[in-house]
Amino acid sequence: MTTASSRWNEYHTPSALADALMILSRHGERARIIAGGTDLILDMEGGHTSGVDVLVDVTRIVGMDEIRETDAGIVIGANVTHAQIEKSPLLRDHAACLVESCGVVGGPQVRNVATIGGNVAHALPAADGTIGLLALDAEVEVCSLAAGAVERRWQPLLSIFAGPGRNNLGPARLVGGFRFAPRATGQASAFDRIMRPQGVALPILGLAAWLQLTEDKQRIVKARIAIGPAGPIPFRATDAEAVLTAAPGFDDAVLAATIAAAQAQAQLRTSKHRASKEYRYEMVGVLLGRVLRAALERAQNL
Ligand SMILES: Cc1cc2nc3c(=O)[nH]c(=O)nc-3n(C[C@H](O)[C@H](O)[C@H](O)COP(=O)(O)OP(=O)(O)OC[C@H]3O[C@@H](n4cnc5c(N)ncnc54)[C@H](O)[C@@H]3O)c2cc1C
């Protein structure tokens, strides 16, 4: 179905992935994908999408709004909303950091329509859902057309980011979903963020961590820490992760060394509406302490 409005000339609502990709490739730079519209409509009203007059609404594409456990991992369709993630028993068990990060996006009205696909594709380095997915080491499914047939490719999440607010999908590709490994015994994750009290959009700083403990639960053998905003694209604090996994255990000295490594590697900036670089630097320490302790306690009891 196609409709028009004063903001655009064509609004398509395909129910098949192949049809959506075909419309996108036909219109090239004139077309934009719309899901919940909570970022895109503001971008359009702010004049950041000049030349765009065709919208392709992907929310009716069959199967893209499902959360499934498969042989290849837990799969979340790009059209799954933050509210669906928040309420999913499967994700509460396997992806606590994602449930916690999506659970603080906007307010209930926003979470009911805003999607995880839009959160990632909008490509802001502080997007909460993205930070949760990054700590889970999620892969992204990129869909395109090859000789008229849909081609689906799984690739590392970070591979689609090109800079603040920019992805490298190009005009004729879309995100189909995300997948990550299910949680095993001794693994757990957590998320927290620092937000301005009156703020409803992006956080001053968000941080997610995923940990795996040894069988005796005394040491951290694998760690992933995602922080945003801490660079032009969502950031993995790999130096801090290395400190954690090299340590014989976890105590205040190890935490201090982990914090120092994250603070040294992160590219923190002052932003006019949110916080100074110095404040963010301090908050890296506060959030790492909170999130690591929460993930550790969960991992010891799971
Ligand atoms: C009041 C308010 C509060 C907010 N608070 C937060 C917050 O606390 N934390 C936070 O992280 N964000 C927040 N946001 C931002 C926004 O809600 C999220 O980023 C949301 O997840 C975007 O999803 P959407 O479905 O609305 O995306 P849309 O606006 O529909 O799309 C966003 C972008 O992604 C592209 N896109 C959408 N789906 C796909 C796809 N499947 N494949 C490829 N490209 C696609 C679109 O073309 C567009 O460029 C807030 C927004 C508002 C208005």
Q: Are residues 72 and 52 in the same domain?
A: no
Q: Are residues 42 and 87 in the same domain?
A: no
Answer yes or no: is 29 within a domain: yes
Q: Are residues 107 and 154 in the same domain?
A: yes
Q: Are residues 81 and 152 in the same domain?
A: yes
Among 116, 149, 180, the domain-final residue is 180
The pLDDT of 131-146, averaged and rounded, is 98
Q: Are residues 237 and 264 in the same domain?
A: yes
Please, which residues have CB within 8 angstroms of residue 43's CB and are 6 or more apart in sequence? Answer: 49
The alpha carbon of 121 and the centre of ligand 1 are apart by a number of angstroms equal to: 8
pLDDT score at 143: 98
Q: Are residues 212 and 294 in the same domain?
A: yes
pLDDT score at 148: 87
The pLDDT of 76-95, averaged and rounded, is 98
Q: Are residues 77 and 53 in the same domain?
A: no
The alpha carbon of 180 and the centre of ligand 1 are apart by a number of angstroms equal to: 21
Answer yes or no: is 146 within a domain: yes
The pLDDT of 80-94, averaged and rounded, is 98
For residue range 243-253, what is the model confidence (pLDDT) as tens digits?
A: 999 999 999 99
The alpha carbon of 166 and the centre of ligand 1 are apart by a number of angstroms equal to: 13
For residue range 189-206, what is the model confidence (pLDDT) as tens digits?
A: 999 999 887 665 789 999
CATH of the domain at 257: 3.30.390.50
For residue range 27-56, what is the model confidence (pLDDT) as tens digits?
A: 999 999 999 999 999 999 888 888 899 999
Answer yes or no: is 188 within a domain: no
Domain range for 77 is 67-180
Model confidence at 3, pLDDT cuts 50, 70, 90, reads low
Q: Which of 6-15, 21-30, 212-221 has the lowest mean pLDDT?
A: 6-15
pLDDT score at 5: 61
Is the pLDDT at 67 greater than 60, yes or no?
yes
The alpha carbon of 183 and the centre of ligand 1 are apart by a number of angstroms equal to: 27
What percentage of the chain exceeds 90 in pLDDT? 89
pTM: 0.96
Is the pLDDT at 272 greater than 90, yes or no?
no
Q: Which of 33, 75, 84 for a ligand 1 pocket mutation test, highest count of atoms within 8 Å of Cβ?
A: 33
pLDDT score at 48: 87
Residue 105's φ and ψ, nearest 5 degrees, are -70, 125
Bridge partners (DSSP) listed for residue 145: 150
Q: Which of 13, 34, 64, 101 for a ligand 1 pocket mutation test, highest count of atoms within 8 Å of Cβ?
A: 34
Give the total number of structural domains in the chain: 3
Answer yes or no: is 257 within a domain: yes
Whose Cα sits closest to atom 36 in ligand 1?
A: 118
CA atoms within 13 A on the CB side of 195: 15
Answer yes or no: is 198 within a domain: no
Binding pocket residue ranges, ligand 1, CB within 6 Å: 32-40, 58, 78, 104-106, 110, 114-115, 117-119, 121-122, 127-129, 169, 174-175, 200-202
Q: Are residues 216 and 112 in the same domain?
A: no
CATH of the domain at 38: 3.30.43.10
Answer yes or no: is 196 within a domain: no
Answer yes or no: is 231 within a domain: yes
In Å, what is the CA distance from 47 to each residue of 23, 52, 164, 280? Answer: 23, 10, 17, 30
Q: Are residues 278 and 296 in the same domain?
A: yes
Closest CA to 188 of 83, 296, 288: 296
CATH of the domain at 129: 3.30.465.10
Answer yes or no: is 136 within a domain: yes
Q: Are residues 71 and 140 in the same domain?
A: yes
